[in-house]
Amino acid sequence: MTNEETAAALKLSKFVLPDYPGILRLQGIPDGETLVAMSRDAKGVPRDVLALETTKAEFAVAAIEAVREWRFLAREENSEAATTERPRLVRFLFKAGGVVVVASPPAAREKSVAAPSDYKPVFFSDLDQMPKALRQPLPAFPAAFTGKAKTGEANVAFFVDETGKVRVPVVTAATAPEFAQAALKTVSTWVYEAPLRAGRPVVAYETLTIQFGPAPKA
């Protein structure tokens, strides 16, 4: 797949390639790779970008800077499509002759990430122990449904980086856009203990379902 085909598959209206890091070129490093996870808002602006793997930190910085310049096609405001998605992962192959961008198709399975086939996410169940939530407020029941709906739910997927911060959260399904928006706003603030595997901090991936009940009466 060419870069142009990748941009079309990602539905990008603005596509920027990263520059090969000059310091690495001077050091004689001929190539490298970086895998990033990303999320976007309804207007098509990248919301968060996280490097999952990289051969050199400079490649990760260059890739993240480029992705932050990308713009996706906007989606209808407040529609289900505007508030639900799958985590998208893109691999950048840095070579002397240029940079090749490889994207994967959307994931179909509940616990899958839309990732290149050679990437295997570390799930919470793979860690030395379940990370303790240090900050995990529950989302408020959407005001728009007060007196209308008794319950609702939103399925969320997210990464937790080596410091314990929730990164690239997305809502994969929800009973209504309002529940999706409430879940995403709150999950973005969650903080865990640093996820550990074999005693070392790693980036971990988790999925869960948030159940909404009616707002309590005053």
| Residues 70, 85: Cα–Cα separation, whole Å | 17
Instruction: Tell whether the model's pLDDT for residue 218 goes beyond 80.
Output: no
Q: How would residue 77 be classed by pLDDT, with cut points 50, 70 and 90?
A: low
Q: Which fold has domain 1-109?
A: TolA/TonB C-terminal domain (3.30.2420)
Q: Please, what is the average pLDDT of the chain?
A: 88
Residue 106's pLDDT is: 44
In the prediction, which pLDDT does 80 show? 63
State the Cα–Cα distance between residues 147 and 142, nearest whole angstrom.
Answer: 11
44 compared with 214, residue with greater pLDDT: 44
User: How would residue 183 be classed by pLDDT, with cut points 50, 70 and 90?
Assistant: very high
**What CATH number labels 121-218?**
3.30.2420.10
State mean pLDDT over 124-142.
95
Residue 194 CB neighbours (<10 A): 16
To which H or E segment does residue 173 belong? strand 166-174
pLDDT at 42: 85
Domain map (residue ranges) of the chain: 1-109, 121-218
Q: State the pLDDT at residue 215.
A: 59
- The per-residue pLDDT for 107 is 40
pLDDT for 149-180, tens place per residue? 788 999 999 999 999 999 999 999 999 999 99
As a whole number of angstroms, the distance between CA 42 and CA 72 comes to: 9
Q: What is the model's pLDDT at position 83?
A: 73
What pLDDT score was predicted for residue 74? 86
